[in-house]
Structure 1
Amino acid sequence: MTSANIETARTYFQAVRTGDMAALGELLDEAIVWHQPGANQFSGEHMGRGAVFQMLGSMMETSQGTFAIDAIHTLMANGDLVTATIHFSGRRGDVSMSMSGVDVLRIENGKITEMWLFSEDPATEDAFWG
């Protein structure tokens, strides 16, 4: 199951990187719980696929379409959890961010049921998102 979960995570990140919302919708469980870090307008728990899509859409709008996961460095699995070390960035006017992060995905039956995100520089990310 570990290799299947790694493949699900790999497919998720590919969908995010290419903006494939249909594939993303297939991968996110309808009742997903998304834990967004920090103290900004997007921080907190987002419950359900619709709430997650709304948050992601607002992030793209706020970042003027520039928010992106630039690289996925390593995917590691332990049972139903997959950890990904990533790099992400965005620009909004003259404000930008570029940093490493860790995403932890809980995957059950090929669906992402829970997601935790960690940022290298939470203060910079909070300032970026406002």
Structure 2
Amino acid sequence: MSARDVIARYGAAMETGDLAALRAVLDERVVWHQPGANQLAGDHVGPDAVLAHLGRFMELSGGTFALRTESVADAGALVATTVRFTARRPGATDLDQHGVDVFRVDGDRIAEVWLVSEDQAAEDRFWGAA
């Protein structure tokens, strides 16, 4: 399975909310680097921590958080995707941004994830203080 195939499985799982399929593509030592200065920022290590982290997106947004992959480029084990993500939260301006997610794939699993948002300051305001 190519790195692109792994990320395609990840994208499908994210878009449908299939947590079992999502967990299946995460390496046991996965590290998710969440940027910013908000309550979700920081490094999350291991599949359980990553799934809990993603669950917080849904919790804080009342289940409205959505992510769609728009394009994919790869350089072997590194895969970059352009994404669009949206969410709503009471008392906050709706979140609707593009970003770039970069993955390091090891075998048939995601080993590391870095995220870059179109407007990190707006995303920080949306998710709230750390």
**TM bracket (short chain):** over 0.9
CA distance in 2, matches of 1:52, 1:81: 19
Q: What does residue 24 of structure 1 align with?
A: 22
What one-letter code is carried by the residue in structure 2 that aligns with 1:63? S
CA distance in 1, matches of 2:52, 2:8: 22
Q: What does residue 44 of structure 2 align with?
A: 46
Deviations 1:15-63 (A, max 9, x none): 0010001100100111100100110011111111111111111111001
Residue 106 (structure 2) pairs with residue 129 (structure 1): no
CA distance in 2, matches of 1:94, 1:13: 29
Q: Hey, which bits of structure 1, 4+ residues long, moved more than 6 A?
A: none
Displacement after TM superposition at 1:79 (Å): 1.4
Give me the CA root mean square deviation.
1.0
Matches within 5 A, 1:1-130: 4-69=2-67, 71-95=68-92, 96-130=94-128
Displacement after TM superposition at 1:94 (Å): 4.2
Gaps of 5+ in 2: none
CA distance in 2, matches of 1:48, 1:108: 14
Gaps of 5+ in 1: none
Deviations 1:74-113 (A, max 9, x none): 1011011000001101001242110000000100111000
Secondary structure in structure 2 of the residue aligned to 1:92:
coil
Q: Calculate percent identity across the aligned residue pairs.
A: 47
